[in-house]
Amino acid sequence: MTAERKLASQPFTIGSNQFSSLEVTPVFDAYWQFAAERQEIYFRRIERRHGPWTHDPILKQFRFTNAYRAADRVSQYLIRSVIYEPNFDQDPAEVFFRTILFKVFNKIETWEILTEQVGALSWKAFRPAAIDKVLSKAQQNGGRIYSAAYIMPPVKLGPTGGVKHRGHLALLELMMRERVYERIQETKSLKQVYEILTALPSIGPFLGYQLAIDLNYSSLIHHEESDFVVAGPGALDGISKCFVNADNLQPADIIEFMTDRQELEFERLGLNFKSLFGRRLQLIDCQNLFCEISKYSRVSHPDINGRAGRTRIKQSFRDHGDVPRPFFPPKWNLVVPTSVSLTR
């Protein structure tokens, strides 16, 4: 098979653009194969099957996110234990506060050390100095308080003394005092949420989009994940590996194109893709899959260079133990069968 081929399908158009003219590489097929196998791993794990959960040597060795962002370990913790935890105040201000505080660090261990040493985290009882003390001590002891999933840029607000997390605590306090959560509640679309967030200090396009998705898990807003997408750096690299002439189109349009034709591609490749309990891949999921295939193809297709030029996968797979019973935003109305894991 040649390294490039024309996309064989009926024309799919946005304006005057013809997606059928896109030239794809072998990574295009790998994108769908990766999504299907990664989802198989997910279901094998939540159904408590014994490992190994895949015969794919790359998926065995390296760490990759789930096909669905909301099914990832950190997203699941956010949804279950931060946003919808029954013992937490569900007042909109408190939900917003907890979500942003968690996502600033995006690390379960950071949230847990704070709740252990500071107590229940709430806007009503917000003590920046107490949080600063705990985080500073953790760092002094060699701990990492920020996730490596994406970069949190520093923000210069108040007397930070050059300490990154102090600026982020000041940013959170600014959001709360300006009642940003009320403005977000009034939005009519996910894009409007994104625009409010990216108008704040240090929140760029990719971070703003990720935060908008996280807030949309909550009861604050009820926008469709299919409304809007922003491609991050990893997704842009993945797109450049899947298509020869992707520069002719907007990245968001390509992600929408992939989302729209997912069933056609799984059928074409003979893949039995298991959706998320009836929920098809959304824009955010297809965006993430581009990021993951960017990494996967560094090993599977090392001859196909992307725009980032990276050649190694840094993070190895680490088993965190049993996967808790999946919990998704109640408004999604997903029915999780009783056959999957029952531990919470």
Cα(224)–Cα(283) distance, rounded to whole angstroms? 10
Exposed, middle or buried by CB within 10 Å (0-12, 13-18, 19+), for 155?
A: buried
Residue 240 and residue 309 in one domain: yes
The three-point CA angle 72-186-178 to 5° equals 85
pLDDT band at 15; cut points 50, 70, 90: very low
pLDDT, mean of residues 268-295: 97
Residue 244 and residue 310 in one domain: yes
> Has residue 218 been placed in a domain?
no
Q: Which of 122, 149, 182 is the endpoint of a domain?
A: 182
**pLDDT at residue number 135:** 97
> Has residue 192 been placed in a domain?
no
**pLDDT at residue number 51:** 67
Residue 232 and residue 325 in one domain: yes
Residue 139 and residue 233 in one domain: no
Count the domains in the chain.
Answer: 2
pLDDT, mean of residues 213-220: 98
Residue 65 and residue 105 in one domain: no
**pLDDT at residue number 150:** 76
Residue 98 and residue 171 in one domain: yes
> Has residue 83 been placed in a domain?
no
pLDDT band at 296; cut points 50, 70, 90: very high
- Does 318 or 115 have the greater pLDDT score? 115
pLDDT band at 198; cut points 50, 70, 90: very high
Q: Which of 12-21, 125-134, 145-154, 314-323 has the lowest mean pLDDT?
A: 12-21
Residue 69 CA: distances (Å) to CA of 25, 44, 180, 344:
25, 17, 25, 19
* Whether pLDDT at 181 is above 60: yes
Helix, strand, coil share (%) of the chain residues, nearest 5:
50, 5, 45
pLDDT, mean of residues 196-213: 96
Residue 166 and residue 99 in one domain: yes
Residue 65 and residue 93 in one domain: no
The tens digit of pLDDT for each residue in 118-156 reads 999 999 999 999 999 999 999 999 999 999 877 888 998
Question: What DSSP state is assigned to residue 243?
Answer: B
Q: In sequence order, which residues have a C-beta less than 8 Å from that of residue 161 and are 6 or more positions away?
A: none
Residue 56 and residue 93 in one domain: no
User: Which neighbouring-strand residues pair with 17?
Assistant: 14
> Has residue 298 been placed in a domain?
yes
Q: In sequence order, which residues have a C-beta less than 8 Å from that of residue 298 and are 6 or more positions away?
A: 310, 311, 312, 313
**pLDDT at residue number 178:** 97
Cα(190)–Cα(183) distance, rounded to whole angstroms? 13
Contact 282, 25 (CB under 8 A): no
- Does 40 or 9 have the greater pLDDT score? 40
**pLDDT at residue number 158:** 80
* Helix and strand totals (H; E) in the chain: 14, 4
**pLDDT at residue number 152:** 86
Residue 32 and residue 101 in one domain: no
pLDDT, mean of residues 168-174: 97
> Has residue 260 been placed in a domain?
yes
**pLDDT at residue number 50:** 72
- Does 153 or 8 have the greater pLDDT score? 153
> Has residue 267 been placed in a domain?
yes
The tens digit of pLDDT for each residue in 70-108 reads 999 999 999 999 999 999 999 999 999 999 999 999 999
Residue 317 and residue 255 in one domain: yes
Residue 54 and residue 98 in one domain: no
Contact 17, 248 (CB under 8 A): yes
**pLDDT at residue number 245:** 86
> Has residue 1 been placed in a domain?
no
- Backbone torsion region of residue 67, taken as left when φ is above 0, otherwise alpha when ψ lies between -120 and 50, otherwise beta: alpha
Give the pTM: 0.91
> Has residue 193 been placed in a domain?
no
Q: Which of 166, 182, 198 is the endpoint of a domain?
A: 182
Q: In sequence order, which residues have a C-beta less than 8 Å from that of residue 112 and are 6 or more positions away?
A: none
The percent of residues above 90 in pLDDT, for the chain, comes to: 75
- Owning domain of residue 168: 88-182
- Does 44 or 314 have the greater pLDDT score? 44
Q: Which of 182, 205, 237 is the endpoint of a domain?
A: 182
**pLDDT at residue number 182:** 98
* Whether pLDDT at 320 is above 70: no
